[in-house]
């Protein structure tokens, strides 16, 4: 099993550009989520999904869109990149229920110039 796969690992964007961060998991996890991690800010939830076709906003959703057409994939779209979106982005997944920890992808380091 590959676990949670994120692509790309690194990306530089110009202000105003759009892009999609990919996340795929092969563990049949129902729950998937996107976090951003900034120095001193910890992990902040952007969007999450409890299953195919169901998504919801986290604490910092502005400027990002998600969709969940399959159980395996949960892409994150940046609509019009801004320097404030420079961050490390992590995708995480888990089984439903209260007894399971999250499995994280290796992250995407995004710089917006």
Binding site for other proteins (CB under 8 A): 31, 40-43, 45, 48, 50, 58, 90, 92, 94, 96-107
Residue with Cβ nearer other proteins (48 or 64): 48
Rounded least distance, CB 104 to other proteins, Å:
4
Backbone angles phi, psi at 83, to 5 degrees: -55, -30
Residue with Cβ nearer other proteins (5 or 67): 5
Residue with Cβ nearer other proteins (14 or 99): 99
Rounded least distance, CB 19 to other proteins, Å:
20
Q: Which residues contact 99 (CB under 8 A, 6 or more apart)?
A: none
Task: Pick the closest to residue 88 from 107, 113, 74, 64 (CA basis).
Answer: 107
Rounded least distance, CB 69 to other proteins, Å:
19
Three-state secondary structure of 17-52:
CCEEEEEEECCCCCEEEEEEEECCCEEEEEEEEEEC
């Amino acid at each position: 099993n590959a676990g949670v796969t994120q692509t790309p690992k690194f990306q530089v964007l110009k202000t105003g550009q759009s892009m999609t961060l990919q996340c795929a998991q092969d563990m049949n996890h129902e729950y998937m989520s996107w976090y951003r991690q900034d120095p001193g800010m910890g992990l902040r939830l952007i969007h999450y999904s409890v299953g195919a076709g169901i998504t919801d906003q986290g604490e910092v959703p502005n400027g990002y869109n998600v969709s969940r057409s399959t159980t395996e994939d949960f892409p994150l779209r940046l609509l019009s990149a801004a320097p404030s979106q420079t961050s490390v982005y992590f995708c995480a997944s888990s089984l439903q229920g209260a007894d399971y920890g999250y499995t994280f992808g290796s992250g995407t380091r995004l710089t917006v110039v």
